[in-house]
Amino acid sequence: MKYGFLVILFCAVLMPSYTRLERTGVNTVDVYLNGTAVGSLEDEETAEACLKEARRRVNSESDELILVDTELTFKPREEIRGRVSGTGEVVDSMCDVLNRDSIETYERAYTVKIGQFSVNMASTDDVITLLQAALDRYQDDDGFTPVLEYDTNRELSVLTPIVYKEETAETDVNADFDYKRDSEAGIIAYMDERFEEYEPDVELDFGDYEQGIMSMGFKDYIEVVECYLPVSEIMDTSEAISDITEDKATPVIYEVKSGDTLSEISEKVNVPLDDIISMNDSLQNEFSVIQVGQELTVTVPKPKLAVRRVEQKYYEEDYEAEVVYIDNDEWYTYETRTIQEPSAGHHNVMAEITYVNDDEAEVSYLKEDVTYEAVAKIVEKGTKIPPTYIKPISGGRLTSGFGRRKAPKRGASTYHKGVDWATATGTPVYASSGGVVARAGWGSGYGYCVYINHPDGRQTRYGHLSKVLVSAGQSVSQGQRIALSGNTGVSTGPHLHFEILIGGSQVNPLNYLN
């Protein structure tokens, strides 16, 4: 009896965490975090508060941001007399679970956004190293260096790079203020400004100009945003430099200018002509007509971070005058005639040249001394849009191309002057382009045939027809039905033979069909 009393006294006095709970139904919840029991509390609200404190403690113990999934679950029960966990004990248990289940540590990083492209760096020093590498591709010891400045127009912490040139001259900022000296300097500066207003401009000699890089910057708007990222998403500095500074094939738009030809455009952008044709659906071949202002897609090597710089250079060179074009509204656009041959001139120049990467974007002359004038090339060119040519049948299987071949039967030519499409007899044949019918009827080896003269001087021929639907002298429009296909004349089966003639000679029709 004595010992029993002592046990009761010990429980009542020395173990206060055992509380007497009234029989009111559910009065206790067992708390589980991510499936692990972390204690028992009186209600769920207390458990939520404990989790909030545990999150704060885990993140405060690390310099970086820690990401962890959390799920609190509860098991309500009625307890008559039992131990309710202290909140400090529950918070400790929750911290153990959070550290155990942390998914990934997020580290402080800086995202460099360049247009639609971005790269993640570990520090602002790495960002500066990255930007400096981009500048150094185009300078030697010119001293242009990027710095990061806060964009005061943004609500969030956003940095933007500013490029400046390190000055070699030093200023004594601690020099004592001398009122008399500084006043005299101010008066002299004022008088100098007044004299500059009235003093006539003196033409500078070539030697009076400074040469070299005058300014540098980045072509695209760049912003640097502080953030927290997984370590796996932060790039190594050398890898980032390689990624944004190395030239990579990039699609760009070239706008056709007056006098351009496809071959000249190919030379300008240094892209093979075949590649330009394959990238543009509007081009069928090297003879395709292009118009001033037309946009063509070309792929050129470019770095992701473009650098713009302005240089002053002195040079002596032969130069060509710009071609002078005289429009002839009676000619088609592919018709030209040289009226005057060019002759190169020579000049000495101090120029201000704007570069984007290694490409000249703009050139202006600060001083020019012409030794002898260039003579411009004068070209007369047509302005009329030439007619287009379409496939003269719908469907059909190409069975014989243009050029040399083995004669398909006795009497047939070994040099095929057109193309053949196999198709069932009676298939509609359409005018490839608008014009006037020159011939309609029997044509010996062609069988029944139709010839059409077109406004650009070309002629199309359609052979081995089963029926002719037009007559000589009749005007037809592009796509108008002119005949039905057949198997007449020297023929090995039902098909359409089609030719295009330029200057009276057959050419490969496939090079001219749209």
pLDDT at 177 over 70: no
Which pLDDT score is estimated for 70? 86
Within this chain, do residues 151 and 57 fall inside the same structural domain, yes or no?
no
Contact assessment for residue 98 and residue 70, using Cβ atoms and an 8 Å cutoff: yes
Q: How many CB atoms lie within 10 A of CB 190?
A: 10
Supply the range of the domain harboring residue 422: 397-511
441 found inside a domain = yes
Place of tokens 């090995």: 492
Q: 189 in a domain, yes or no?
A: no
Token pair for residue 288? Answer: 């395709």
Q: Both 317 and 364 in a single domain?
A: yes
Q: Which residue has the tokens 């201000």?
A: 352
Of 324, 349, 384, the last residue of a domain is: 384
Its pTM stands at 0.53
- Tell me the mean pLDDT in the region 362-380: 95
Q: In this structure, is residue 197 part of a structural domain?
A: no
Rg value, the chain, Cα: 42
Same domain for 119 and 242: yes
Residue 488 and residue 465 share a domain: yes
The yes-or-no verdict on residue 157 having pLDDT over 90 is: no
DSSP states of 346-358 as a string?
EEEEEEEEEEETT
Total domains present in the chain: 5
186, part of any domain? no
- Classify residue 195: in a domain, yes or no: no
pLDDT reading at 180 higher than 50? no
77 domain residue, yes or no: yes
Domain boundary among the residues 103, 132, 152 is at 103
Check whether residue 127 and residue 219 sit in a common domain. yes
Point out the domain boundary residue: 351, 384, 417: 384
Q: Is the pLDDT of residue 364 over 90?
A: yes
Q: Provide CB contacts within 8 A for 76, sequence distance 6+.
A: 26, 28, 29
Is the distance from CB of 28 to CB of 18 less than 8 angstroms? no
Which 8-state DSSP code applies to residue 172? -
Whether residues 312 and 295 share a domain: the answer is no
Position 502 pLDDT exceeds 60: yes
Are the C-beta atoms of residues 448 and 442 closer than 8 Å to each other?
yes
Read off the CATH number of the domain in which 313 is found: 2.20.230
Residues 276 and 333 in one domain: no
Provide the token pair at 458. 């070309």
Let me know whether 374 and 343 are in one domain: yes
Is residue 204 in some structural domain? no
Residue 257: predicted pLDDT: 85
pLDDT tens for 88-97 read 999 999 999 9
CB-based burial label for 468 (10 Å; 0-12, 13-18, 19+): buried
E-only strand ranges, 182-268: 212-218, 222-230, 248-255
Q: Are residues 361 and 344 in the same domain?
A: yes
Same domain, yes or no: 464 and 379: no
Whether residues 437 and 502 fall in one domain: yes
85 CB contacts (<8 Å, ≥6 apart)? Answer: 17, 39, 40, 41
On whether both 63 and 87 belong to a single domain, the answer is: yes
CATH code of 401's domain: 2.70.70.10
183 domain residue, yes or no: no
H/E element holding 55?
helix 44-60
Closest CA to 391 of 426, 447, 424, 429: 429
